Amino acid sequence: MDRPQKLEGTYHLSMESNETNLNEALTKYLTTRNQTDGFEVQQELSKFARWCGRDRLVGQITPHEAAAFSELIVDSSNSQTEANRRGKYLKDFLNFCFKNEMAKASLAKHVRVRKTIKKIAGKSAPRPSVVDLTADGHKRMIEELSTLRDERVIVAKEIRLAMADKDFRENAPLDAAREKQGLLEARIRTLESSLENVRIVESEALTQKQKKKLIQIGSKVTLVESKSGTQNVYVLVNASEANPIENRISTASPVGRALLDHSKGQDITVNTPRGEIRYVIRDVN
């Protein structure tokens, strides 16, 4: 039987390195963990296994994939401490695979948790502001987040397929998949942050304004342009809910800002690139 050879100080060749898949390696590794953090470790490493593919051979995992997943750890963590802890779980697992000759190379060194949580003048970053949402907008946001999280798996598969082409210098599918992944993760972070600080607009203060028919988030407004007589119906929403196609306009938009705290029958003036436009508020619901 050929002896395992060590190449360049980091590579081992063995039969097991060609036979053990991620699911099997994870099962073996978890038996070595203590019960205090075993569940959290299992959850984190299961994400890595799903991202790479549970049936994927450990020896086929590339340094780039280890580095890419560590970026995802940073992007999806709420604090630097959490990112460091999750990164350590992955490093320990990859070291275990290498030491037990399940992997051809030590991938742990490619897991780098960059620092993103910064302090300004010795003070913690300001707390995120409250996001006011309508009940319908809250529901839509939750549904979108669920859809995007499912799409993560699809994008990860696209990246793995694109990486099958060993020539990374001109790999348009890989570049496109990575760009798509970046946009996807950015949107997920935005939604998660908004949902963590959401306030459904049904507070007593807003209820009092609604009784007075003052326009607020959630109001349905019938607006008539004074000069042309054109009539449109809008629903005022938070910027994260805005959808011009559905006539859901943000309270941060020029029209939305002008409408706030007004009531039926009042005139408003909106400053636009075309100049000032006057509207009459025909109805408020």
In the prediction, which pLDDT does 129 show? Answer: 65
| 24 or 114, greater pLDDT | 24
Give span(s): CATH 3.10.50.30, the chain: 204-284
Nearest to 254 by CA among 278, 270, 241, 240: 270
Fold for 1-115, please state it.
Answer: DNA polymerase; domain 1 (1.10.150)
Which DSSP state fits 58? G
Structure tokens at 209: 């304004």
In the prediction, which pLDDT does 213 show? Answer: 73
Question: Is residue 228 scored above 80 in pLDDT?
Answer: yes
**Quick one: three-class SS letters along 161-186?**
HHHCCCCCCCCHHHHHHHHHHHHHHH
Give span(s): CATH 1.10.150.130, the chain: 1-115
Can you say whether residue 265 is alpha, beta or left, with left for phi > 0 and alpha for psi between -120 and 50 degrees? left
In the prediction, which pLDDT does 168 show? Answer: 52
Question: Is residue 127 scored above 60 in pLDDT?
Answer: no
In the prediction, which pLDDT does 204 show? Answer: 45
In the prediction, which pLDDT does 33 show? Answer: 76
Write the DSSP assignment of 96-157 as a string of letters.
Answer: HHHHTTSSSS--GGG---------BTTBPPPPPPPEEE-HHHHHHHHHHHHHHHHHHHHHHH
Residue 260 · residue 216 · CB < 8 Å: yes
- The answer regarding whether domain 204-284 maps to CATH 3.10.50.30 reads yes
- Segment among 60-64, 82-86, 189-193 with least mean pLDDT: 189-193
Integer Cα distance of 39 and 30 in angstroms: 9
Burial letters 181-218, b for 16+ CB under 10 A, else e: beebbeebeebeebeeebeebeeeebeebbeeebbbbb
In the prediction, which pLDDT does 5 show? Answer: 41
Q: How confident is the model at residue 12 (pLDDT cuts 50, 70, 90)?
A: very low
Integer Cα distance of 232 and 229 in angstroms: 10
Q: How confident is the model at residue 116 (pLDDT cuts 50, 70, 90)?
A: low
In the prediction, which pLDDT does 187 show? Answer: 82
Architecture in CATH for domain 126-199: Orthogonal Bundle (1.10)
In the prediction, which pLDDT does 186 show? Answer: 81
Q: What is the CA radius of gyration of the chain?
A: 27
- Segment among 4-8, 94-98, 99-103, 186-190 with least mean pLDDT: 4-8
3-class DSSP assignment, residue 2 = coil
Give span(s): CATH 1.10.287.180, the chain: 126-199
Question: Is residue 207 scored above 70 in pLDDT?
Answer: no
Question: Is residue 18 scored above 70 in pLDDT?
Answer: no
Q: How confident is the model at residue 94 (pLDDT cuts 50, 70, 90)?
A: very high
In the prediction, which pLDDT does 53 show? Answer: 80
Question: Is residue 120 scored above 70 in pLDDT?
Answer: no
| 145 or 137, greater pLDDT | 145
Q: How confident is the model at residue 34 (pLDDT cuts 50, 70, 90)?
A: low
| 119 or 177, greater pLDDT | 177
pLDDT (tens digit per residue) in 156-188: 888 788 777 655 556 677 777 878 888 888 888
